[in-house]
Structures are given as C-alpha cells and as structure tokens.
Amino acid sequence: MRIAPQPGERIDRRKPFTFEYDGAKITGFEGDTIGSALYAAGRRVFSRSFKYHRPRGLLCCSGDCPNCMMTVDGVPNVRLCVEPVRDGAVVRAQNVLGSLDRDLLSITDKIGGPFTPVGFYYRTMIRPRRLWPLYEKFLRNVAGLGKIGENGTHRRYDTEHRRVDVLVIGGGRAGREAAARAEGDVLLVDEHGGGGALKGRALGIYEGGLVPVDAGDVLYRFRAERIVVATGGIEQPLVFPGNDLVGVMLPNGVRRLTRDWSIKPGERAVVVTADDAGLEAAGDLRAVGTEVARVVDLRSERIVQLAAVGKRGRLSAVLVDGEAVDCDVLVMSGGRQPAYSLLAQAGARVEYEPRRGIFVPTELPENVEAVGSAAGDLEGAAVPAASYDGGDGKCFVCICEDVTEKDVKRALAEGFDSIELAKRYTTATMGPCQGRLCHLQSIRMLARETETDEAAIGTTTARPPWGPVELGLLAGRHYEAMKRSPLHFRHEEAGATMMWTGAWRRPFAYGDPAAEVRAVHESLGVIDVSTLGKIIVEGPDAAELLERLYPNRFADLAVGRIRYGVLTTDGGRIMDDGTVARLGDDLFYVTTTSTGSESVCEWFEWWNAVWGYDAEIVNVTGALAAVNLAGPQAREALGALTDADVSNDALKYLDAKEITVAGVPCLALRIGFVGELGYELHCAASAGEHLWDALVARGAVPFGLEPQRVLRLEKAHVIVGQDTDSESNLLSAGMPWIVKEKPDFVGKWAVELVEERGIRERLVGFTMDGGLLPPEGAQVVENGKSTGRVTSSRVSEQVGKVIGLAWVRPERADDGTRLSIRIAGADHPATVTLAPFYDAEGAKLRS
Amino acid sequence: MKDIFRVSRMWRPRGELKKRYDVVVIGGGSHGLATAYYLAKNHGVKDVAVLEKSYIGSGASGRNTTIIRSNYRTPEGAAFYSRSVKLYEQLSADLDFNLMFSQHGHLTLAHSERAMVTMQERAEVNQLLGIDSRVVYPEEIARLCPQINLGPRQTWPIQGALYHAPGGIIRHDAVVWGLARGADRAGVEIHPYTEVTGIERTSGRATAVETNRGRVEADVVVSAVAGWSTLVCGLAGVRLPITTHILQAFVTEPVKPFLDVIIVSAQMHVYVSQTDRGEFLIGAEIEPYTTYKSIGTFPFLEYSARHTLELFPQLERLRVLRTWTGLCDLSPDYSPILGRTEVENFHVSAGWGTYGFKAAPIVGTTLAKLVATGETPDLIAPFALERFHTDELVSELAAAAVSH
Ligand SMILES: Cc1cc2nc3c(=O)[nH]c(=O)nc-3n(C[C@H](O)[C@H](O)[C@H](O)COP(=O)(O)OP(=O)(O)OC[C@H]3O[C@@H](n4cnc5c(N)ncnc54)[C@H](O)[C@@H]3O)c2cc1C
Ligand code: FES
C-alpha cells in the first residue's frame, strides 16, 4: 500500500516501529501515526459507530472525528489518526461485540433504523417501573465507547505559567504571517507544531487573556496582551445517503495519507467538492496512482442526487444523478467553515453570510484579533445543499452521534424546532468532535425544513474546551495544601495518632486519651495549640475596631489583660471565637479557632476598610508556635523554667505577660480552655520544639485533641462550628452575658430582634441517665419527632457520666428537664444540666 | 410500543399571546412548567400561560447535574425533598414520558471527623422521617463503589459517607419536555422567546406583565426564574435576600459503564456520576463572586479534574468534552423561598442555589395548590419569604452547599 519514497513525505523509512494490533504485529515508520500504519497494513474499518455500530474508517485525519478511536495501552478513545506510532503499543478495537469486521451489535443498524427512532428511549420502557433498571442496564452497556483501564496510567503532567505580548493561535500561513508581523514577545502555537510553533492546542480564551494550551503532558497557561486567532477553517462533510461508509473521506484525510504518509488510499476514487480542496485531493490521489473516475465540482455542476453505496459498510460505488461509478474512495468536500469557536468564547459575535453559506465572527472583543480562514477569509466555495437524495441508505447529519437526516426531520415534526432544542433532542453536535463536522449541517437542515434561513436558526453557544483534553493534564501535578504545626515532628516522634482538622494535621492522642485526660486533671499536661489563628491588630483605632466587631467591650480592656470574645456575622450568627489580649494601648493579640484564622483576618480587614479605621491587621498564625501547659502543677513547672514572677498575684487568671521560658521569649496567656490552671505560651515557630522539649522534660504529659475535647466538654465550653451552626446566635447558645450595652457592633440588630421575639432553641448541657454514649448528631426526640440534636458527647471519668451538649426547644431547656435521645433506633433518657459539669465555679482556673 | 413509530407533536407551535390569562407563570424551566402542569392537572386551572424568554429548559433546568435525593439536614427540608423524590418516582408514568430516573444510590463522602458528625446528624434526621439514609464506613463504600480510591495516600482520606440508596440521576431535558407536553396537552399555553420586561402593580396587586411581545393581564403571577429571581421579582417591587452566582459542570467523552453510584465530596468541592450515555458528569461548587453572566472559568476545570482524580485516579486519560455554566440563586440559609410575597397575587419560587432541580414536582404541586386555593400548603410554610423578617431560617448549610 505504501508507494515509493517521494519528496516531502513525513515518514522516515529507516526508523521502523512495531506495535500490536488485535494480536498481530504491525510496523510503521517514524512520522506515521498508529492510524496511518494500520491503513498502510490494509486495515480499513477502524471503529464501530456510537448507536448503530456501523463500520467506520478514516475520515478527517485531523484528530477531530471519532472514526478512528481505539484503546491504546489501556487508554480508551484514542484517536489513532494523530497518535504517533511507538514500539510495543497495544492497540485494541473498542465498542464491539466480536470484532471490528464482525460486530454482533451491528444488528442495531439493521433493525435499529425503524425500531430506534430519535428519542425512542423517552417513549418506551416506562411501565412497569420496576423493569426500568433492567432496560437501563442494557442501555448503559451498549452506550459508551472505550473502557476505562483498571489501574490508570500514572502519566506525569506539568503546568507552566507564561506571559507573552502576543499569542498567535494556529500556525497556518495566516498565523505565521501574523506572528512575523507582531512586535514584542511573540509566541505561535499550533496543534501540529512545525514552522517554529509550539506544538499544542489552545483550549479556550478566558477572561483576563488566559489561554490554556494542551501540549500533551504540559499544560501552558498563557497570559497574553494580545491574542491572534488563526485557527483556520474546518472541512465540512456533505450530507447524503451512505456518507459515513468506510472509504468516504474529507480532503485532509486524503492529503495526509498520500502526501505525508505516502499511502495509496484506494484503487478508484470519486470526488465531490464545493471548493478547491477536493480538486487538490484529486491531484494527490492521481499522484499516488489512484484512478480518479469522476470529479463533481459543485461550483460548476448542479447535482440533485448523490449517494454512496457499499457492501458490509465499505464503499463500493457512488451514485451521481443516476449514474453509478464504482470506487473505493469518495472524497467529499462541503467547503470550509471558519473555526470561530475560540473567538466566540472570547465574546465575538457570529453572523451568517448567506452568499458563502458560512458563519463568520464579527465584533471581536478588545485585544483579540482574527486572521485568515478563521476570520472568514475564505473564497471560492459553492454552498452545498443541506442534503442530497439518492437512495435509502442512512444519511448522517452527525456522524459522531449517528444522527440521521430523518432524525432531524422527526425532531422538528415533534416540535423541537429551535437549534437548541433539536440539538438536545437528537444529540447532534454533542459528540466527540463537538460539532466541528455537523454544526453547520444541522443549522442548514433546520433552516431548510423550517423554511427560514440559517441566520434565523442561529448557532449554539461555543463552549470550551476547543478539543477534548485529558483530566490528568488539567489536574497537573497533585499538590494539596496541608498545614503542619512547627511541632509536627515531635508528635510523630512521640507516636501520636495524627488526624485531619481542616487543612491541619493534628495529634488525636499519643496513647490512651483517658490517661492523658487524667494527667491534666491530676498533674500536668501540654498540648500543641499552634493551629490557633493568631492575629495582631495594631494602630490608633485598633481598640475601636475590636469594640465594634465584638459584642462585648474591648476599648476598656486594661493593658496586660485578656478577654474571651465571640464574633458574629452581620446577621448576628456566631462566626468564630477566641481570646483578645491587650499588649499595649494600641496593640492587641487576637486568637481565633484553628479553621478561622483566614476568614477572621479577612473579616477584620473588611470592616477596617468599611469604617475607615487606622489599624494594621497581621495574620501571624504561621509564624508562631503555641502550647497550652495545663494541670495543677502548671505554675510550678513554669516557674522552674523562667525567671519571671509567675505567682498567682503576678500572673493572674486572664493576664497576658511577656516572659522568657527555657530561654525562649514567650507571650504567656493565662487562660483555661481545658478547665485546669493553665498557660498558653506563644513563641517564635523556630523555638517551638525547644520550648516543647523543655516542658516535656519538666514532666508535662503531651495530650492530643481527643483528651482536650473531653476536658473542654467537662467545662461545657463550646466549640464554634461543632456546637454551633450557621444559624446559632449568642442568646440561644447560652451566652447572653457576652452581649454588652453599646452603641453598635456587628450583628447588634439581630441580637435585639432575638431578644424581642425570644429564642427558638437553646444549647444546653446534658448527662445521660444510663451509660450509653449518643453519637454526635443524635436527635433529641419528642413523640417520635426530632426536636433537637446532640452536638458533643463524651464519657467523662471525672464526672462519672456520659456528658454532652445539645440543642433543645427553649421549653425543654431548664436545669433538670428530662430529655429523650434517640440512639440506634431507641430512645434513652437524659437530663439537662446548665452548669459546667466540672468545677462549675471556675475555682481551679483562678487558683 | 407502537407509540414510538408515530410522529406526534410534543406541544403546539407557539401561538399569539392573549390579552389576559388566569395565571401567568414567568420562566419555562422545570419549576414554571411543573406549576403550570399541576395547575391544569390537579386543579383544572387551564387558562395559564408560561412565558419563557428563551427556549424551554434554557436556564438551570437544562444545565444541572440532575442529582435527585432527599437526605437533607433539617426536618423541614428533608420532609419537603422526600415528597419530591416520591413524585419523581411516579412522574415518568404520569407524563407517559421516560425521564430515565435511575436510583443507583448517592454517597456523600466524609473526609474528616467533623464531616462524619454531619453525616451522622443527617442520617438521624432522615431516619426519623423514614428516609433511607445511613452512615457507611470504608468497607461498605468499597462494596458500593469498588472503583473509588480509598487508599491512605489520598490527601483527604475517606473516613466514611452518608449513603442514600434512593438518590439518583435523571435526564433533565426529558423532565422539561415531559412537563411541557403534559401542560400543553392539558391546555396550558407555552410561549418561548417571550421575555417579561415589566410587572404592573396597582394597589398592592400585580395586574399585568409587560413582555417583548406585548402586555398580558393576569389574576395571578408566578415567578419561577431561579437565577434571574432578583431581577424579575425586582420588576414587581419585591426584594429577595438572594445573590446569584455561577455554577459550572462538564462532561467527558463517553466510556463503558464504570461508575453506578453518585459520588459527592463537599470537602473537595466535586461530585461525579456517569450518565446512561457513558459520559462522566462532573460538577463543583459555585464561584464565590456574584454575577448574572454565564461565563466559565478555567481554574474550575483544573481543580475539578484534580479532585476527580483523587477519587478516581483511573480516569487520568479520560478527556473532557464540554463545559458549561449556569446561574444559581442562593439564599442565606440554603433553603428555598417559596410561596407568597408582599404583593398579594405574586408568588415566587426562588432560592434554589445548586439544588432546585430535585424539587420541581413538589414545587409544582404546592405552588399550584397555593395559586388555586389561596392556601399555603404546610410542607412549604417554613420556606416563606417572610422568614427573613421574622428571622426563622431553615439552615441547610451542611447539606445543601456543594452537595446538590
Ligand atoms: C451546573 C448546575 C448544576 C446543578 N446541579 C443540580 C443537581 O444536581 N440537583 C439539583 O437538584 N439541582 C441542581 N442545580 C440547580 C437546579 O438546576 C436549579 O435550581 C433548577 O433547575 C431551577 O429550576 P427553575 O425551573 O426554577 O429555573 P430555570 O430552569 O433556571 O428556569 C428559569 C427560566 O426563566 C427564564 N427567565 C428568566 N428571566 C425571564 C424573564 N424576564 N422572562 C421570561 N423568562 C425568564 C429563563 O430563561 C429560564 O429558562 C444545578 C444548577 C446548575 C447551574
Ligand atoms: S459529527 Fe461530531 S458531534 Fe456531530
């Protein structure tokens, strides 16, 4: 099938490659694609069609149509016409039952015409409903093309960001000229590379001049000042019976076979063309020794009948106005349609030009330019008929989706009379070529059938990507942000069980959580709290800013003192909580929850800007390490590591003080989330491990998140986001004491509204009467109906009970009220307890 | 069976607009058409016009990822959506049109302890209402979806999931067309390419709508325009606490059956299903900014692809074929705004965010009842617009965001 070497061929016959196709060894040359090598080896049927399983052969050789899709090395839907040959590749046919030449499912072609009209699935298999899953299973199995491999391929992908002054998309003549003309930093990309172009396919033009380019295993993200679109024109098929037979090709298919790969496509050919491309193909065919039996130039010859007939799906003759011409190749060329898709995505309008029968882009957005065929610079083509008659073979409008002329007519007759409805009903244009080969034809046909014109029908929206793109390439290399505390490796060394909390990895416990709880109650524990958000607010208006952000007072906070604060949204919903320490007249140190640091920082900045205050807001979360040293022995241990006076008088409950601990300058905050005497020590991240080691050496037992949760629950301390949700307000969450009389704060109106109308639910503590632990999320029920929910629950050794927090109706929120909690389908009694379960007066914290 | 050979029109060609209708429904999406259909079917109210500015189903109804489920968080929400799923189960037969509703099951993945608690809470609420919904752990996930990557090397290891067996997907266009056909056959007039440009109000009542094809009077006006709700309700002087955002989705090239269940990961902002055509249908979270312009973004494709591959690394070489964008009307509590407004005869269906398609039949039946009888059905009382004045929100935040 190969002809003798010829000048200009793209293959290097000295470099053979061998791959496997359905068990046989096939050899091609460098420059070949798997498709061309198979064609040279005599293979003509490359796939079976989507719906009717009709044999299909090479058509476009541009990587557009689905006709040559096979599975290569386990990757489905590979377009062989553009897939380079390589040694050892394993190529398999797909979507066949049997083989490509004898596909049992092609029965759908024989009976499928009359039995499966367009949209048949909407009208059948409705009753009885229980059979639908069976029908559906069958439908699912016959649909789809290739099969996903079991293990994936683990290709390596990269993403590169680049900036250029001018990006030219398309390396044809117009594109190359535009690139040569352009000034500054110019880059040319082309799907096929060559001529100094970067080989890659532009996927779209997005806002801000972003043009992602698919270059195989690299995704380039270009940002360009100016974009020149030179994507050329797309060869259009003609619509006539048998237009999908194996042997019917577009001019480019012939050009590539003959010129690039030096293959003789067949013995005898017919050409039907609306433009010069078909005539050129005729020349190419003759050059390789294919007889060209008949050329129909639609510009000079009016034909009414055109049909291709075949045997077993392969072309054997063409009928032109009653005259039958035997042939095994038919070149059809319906002229070219400007490839305007990228332009339309960028915002260009697309207009129909009746004279040339094509859609052309107009009103280009700023900074985008179109040149060459893409701009509509196409001359000398006839406008072919919407379809040609000539036989009873299937006449395909959309080859990808097996949509026939009859289907389109039927859709119209049923009332799907706009391009958008017809598209969705017939699925024309929704196949793997994304309408490149059928969009224009569908519009023409609708125009003819509705007796309007193409302009009235209009186009469908152009959507990225311009060409199918691998998920792996879009994903790029996989990096997912993970946050580690400065003490992370200490926890790993200590054998902690690590868990995710938001983006943070944190120790769940180091061993037995109960033992860690005990250590804190009885002696001394230490926990890494570096994940807390830490924000510095400084400036003349810092105090005023906080005063207006929080419902409680901060302007009157004394230097060196700390206050607990809860932030609410403008709707009065609880948003975050933490402590605020005043370190100077104009200097505050704010902590937030572990997940809240970014959002609180943004929140502060937003209001700072809105109110026009003069305050600097700096998120120092990542810069600092923090630990909480807690337990009856905390003072003693701290005292041993510092020269500072840490007596209860010098460092009272809710005092903040800068001291040096084990040689590390620290900010010591005396607060008590876990209910025992405790100090939070904040220091430079780099000194965190040293501080931690010193504390552990002094006998502090590391404790993890789980024991901390038990400890805080014993104090009935709320965890925002766990015990509260997006609707919780301060009054219902049992924190009315935090709301202070003042002229304004964010969410004030909402608090007043709730005050006026009363709360609808209330967060309370409870103890289980029995020993069963309700899962967090369990429902509080009355008469089988949900009236509340458990947000936290734990077994507390210290309290000797199962304790928890729950939202209940206000009528059920008094101390001692009996509740029913549903656990695994049965209701279990519980009792409301409003005071903290442990050290209700807080004596331990102050001691 | 013989029916499939007969070419029968789905609906009458668009006719002239009359001067007046008993009911004018603005919006030819699933909600507008369902309302019209049930008005005619359940209440005999047939003098109804559906006005649609483009083709029917051109809004979110023709762009959504068609997930239908009822495992919501609040008792109000779960009861409401549960009714809707029941109606959907019967709808193919009612409409005599195969909507291809496939209840293959729905898994909402939990990648953290916190998420597990949320799943537990939803399961508990659902079970009290008789909804098939429970927490499952990795062993069972592996059985329900053998393809999913449960390996520990994942960035966000899967700790468990909420499993909802009745959850499924449906053919969205079929829902729109089936309802349109049903409404048309019952006498409702459907007017595509008819845009409402003004709403006349006289003494607290909406008396007529202005369109690009002239003025139309009506006794009752229903707005069912989802992403355009703030604009259309604005014409009637009704302000809604809604912001409009875009939501994007994409499909891949079709492949043979690989995935039966629907997989949703809120933490990773991604959800994945495979349609009967064999395409993977993948969606994400709304974009954070507000806009009425349906313009897609590239980062969406990148992060959705990344997260899809975390769950299904086997899909690495599968190709994305088409992306699209739709509008979502987000309410502050992620629950809909349904029923009466301060304009006496102007009713609204809005606030559907990323989850309204599953509600079409229940919206249709309840709004039709409201229009026909003047009474607000109990099922939708919690979703009244008034709740934003009385501050009685119905927070679905944990169930509705991302999860569709
Ligand atoms: C990408 C995406 C994925 C989604 N996934 C899901 C999902 O999986 N499950 C789910 O349940 N929901 C999902 N949703 C949400 C769901 O699609 C919508 O909530 C639902 O379709 C709303 O239906 P509708 O009929 O109210 O609105 P629409 O279908 O948007 O219909 C409103 C109609 O009103 C028309 N209109 C607007 N203004 C005017 C005017 N002035 N005059 C006349 N007509 C007008 C529009 O053209 C439009 O056709 C998703 C949404 C998107 C965008
Ligand atoms: S021919 Fe490819 S989508 Fe129609």
> Which tens digit of pLDDT belongs to each residue from A412-463?
999 999 999 999 999 999 999 999 999 999 999 999 999 999 999 999 988 8
CA end-to-end distance (rounded Å), chain A? 96
Give the model's pLDDT for residue A100.
83
Q: Are residues A674 and A802 in the same domain?
A: no
Tens digits of per-residue pLDDT, A248-261? Answer: 999 999 999 999 99
- Mean pLDDT lowest among A27-41, A139-153, B58-72, B360-374: A139-153
Q: Are residues A669 and A784 in the same domain?
A: no
Residue ranges of A 397-456 with Cβ closer than 8 A to chain B: 410, 413-418, 420-421, 424-425, 427, 430, 432, 434
- Please answer yes or no on whether B125 and A786 come within 8 Å at the CB atom: yes
Do A333 and A275 touch, CB atoms closer than 8 A?
Answer: yes
Give the model's pLDDT for residue A126.
87
Q: Would the CB of B58 count as within 6 Å of ligand 1?
A: yes
Average pLDDT over residues B297-303: 95
Q: Would the CB of A433 count as within 6 Å of ligand 2?
A: yes
Tens digits of per-residue pLDDT, A572-629? Answer: 999 999 999 999 999 999 999 998 999 999 999 999 999 999 999 999 999 999 999 9
Q: Which residue has the tokens 């102050």?
A: A846
Average pLDDT over residues A130-152: 83
* Residue that finishes a domain, picked among A270, A299, A334: A334
Average pLDDT, chain A: 94
The rounded Cα A122 to chain-centroid distance in angstroms is: 31
Give the model's pLDDT for residue A705.
96
DSSP A164: E
Tens digits of per-residue pLDDT, A650-691? Answer: 999 999 999 999 999 999 999 988 999 999 999 999 999 999
- Please answer yes or no on whether B93 and A126 come within 8 Å at the CB atom: yes
A311 touches chain B (CB under 8 A): no
Tens digits of per-residue pLDDT, A91-133? Answer: 999 988 878 888 877 877 776 555 567 888 898 888 888 888 8
To test the contact with chain A by mutation, choose from B256, B260, B265, B310 the residue with the greatest count of A C-beta atoms within 10 A, namely: B256
Give the model's pLDDT for residue A96.
85
* Residue that finishes a domain, picked among A67, A100, A115: A115
Average pLDDT over residues A161-188: 96
Q: Are residues A653 and A764 in the same domain?
A: no
CATH of the domain at A826: 2.40.30.110
What is the extent of the structural domain holding A594? 488-712
Q: Are residues A685 and A763 in the same domain?
A: no
Whether the pLDDT of residue B232 is over 70: the answer is: yes
Q: In angstroms, rounded to a whole number, what is the distance separating the alpha carbons of residues B155 and B164? A: 25
Beta bridge partners of A666: A659
Q: Are residues A646 and A762 in the same domain?
A: no
> Does residue A131 lie within any of the structural domains?
no
Q: Which residues contact A805 (CB under 8 A, 6 or more apart)?
A: A713, A716, A718, A723, A763, A764, A765, A766, A790, A791, A792, A793
Nearest to B256 among A126, A144, A150 (CB): A144
Whether the pLDDT of residue B402 is over 60: the answer is: no
Q: In angstroms, rounded to a whole number, what is the distance separating the alpha carbons of residues B251 and A128? A: 31
Average pLDDT over residues A164-168: 97
Closest by CA to B333, choosing from B74, B98, B140, B80, is B74
Helix or strand or coil: residue B182? helix
A194 touches chain B (CB under 8 A): no
- Please answer yes or no on whether A500 and B157 come within 8 Å at the CB atom: yes
Q: Are residues A701 and A781 in the same domain?
A: no
Query: Is the full-model pTM beyond 0.90?
Result: yes
Q: Are residues A561 and A704 in the same domain?
A: yes
Average pLDDT over residues B156-165: 93
> Does residue A743 lie within any of the structural domains?
no
Share of chain B above pLDDT 70, in %: 96
Core vs surface per residue B196-221: b (16+ CB within 10 A) or e: beebbbeeeebebbebeeeebebbbb
> Does residue A638 lie within any of the structural domains?
yes
Q: Are residues A679 and A776 in the same domain?
A: no
- Please name the helix (run of DSSP H) or strand (run of DSSP E) that holds residue A161, with its range, or none: strand A158-169
> Does residue A564 lie within any of the structural domains?
yes
Q: Are residues A603 and A500 in the same domain?
A: yes
Give the model's pLDDT for residue B401.
47
- Chain A residues closer than 8 Å to B315 by CB: 148, 152, 471
Average pLDDT over residues A195-203: 94
Q: Are residues A764 and A707 in the same domain?
A: no
Q: How far is B277 from chain A (nearest CA, A)?
A: 5
Q: Which residues contact A145 (CB under 8 A, 6 or more apart)?
A: A50, A66, A69, A76, A77, A94, A95, A432, B253, B254, B255, B256, B278
CATH of the domain at A686: 3.30.1360.120
> Does residue A339 lie within any of the structural domains?
no
- Please answer yes or no on whether A471 and B320 come within 8 Å at the CB atom: yes
CATH of the domain at A241: 3.50.50.60
Beta bridge partners of B356: none
H-assigned helices in A612-765: 634-641, 688-697, 705-714, 748-757
Q: Are residues A836 and A692 in the same domain?
A: no
Do A415 and A422 touch, CB atoms closer than 8 A?
Answer: no
Q: In angstroms, rounded to a whole number, what is the distance separating the alpha carbons of residues B54 and A383? A: 30
Apex CA A338: angle with CA A337 and CA A342, to 5°?
130
Q: In angstroms, rounded to a whole number, what is the distance separating the alpha carbons of residues A152 and A154? A: 6
Do A58 and A399 touch, CB atoms closer than 8 A?
Answer: no
Closest by CA to A545, choosing from A525, A577, A567, A564, is A567
* Residue that finishes a domain, picked among A288, A305, A334: A334
Whether the pLDDT of residue A138 is over 90: the answer is: no
pLDDT band per the 50, 70, 90 thresholds, residue A390 = confident
Tens digits of per-residue pLDDT, A692-739? Answer: 999 999 999 999 999 999 999 999 999 999 999 888 999 999 999 999
Q: In angstroms, rounded to a whole number, what is the distance separating the alpha carbons of residues B354 and A271? A: 52
pLDDT band per the 50, 70, 90 thresholds, residue B153 = low
Q: Which domains does chain B have, with CATH numbers?
A: 17-66+172-242+332-400 (3.50.50.60), 102-167+244-328 (3.30.9.10)
Count of domains in chain A? 4
pLDDT band per the 50, 70, 90 thresholds, residue A338 = very high
Q: Are strands A158-169 and A218-229 parallel, antiparallel or unpaired?
A: parallel
Output the CA torsion A750→A752→A758→A760 (10° steps). 10
Share of chain A above pLDDT 70, in %: 99
Q: How far is B151 from chain A (nearest CA, A)?
A: 13
Tens digits of per-residue pLDDT, B236-253? Answer: 999 999 999 999 999 999
Whether the pLDDT of residue A152 is over 70: the answer is: no
Closest by CA to A726, choosing from B199, B17, B332, B69, is B332
Q: Are residues A700 and A786 in the same domain?
A: no
What number of other Cβ atoms are within 10 A of residue A842's Cβ? 14
Give the model's pLDDT for residue A114.
53
> Does residue A344 lie within any of the structural domains?
no
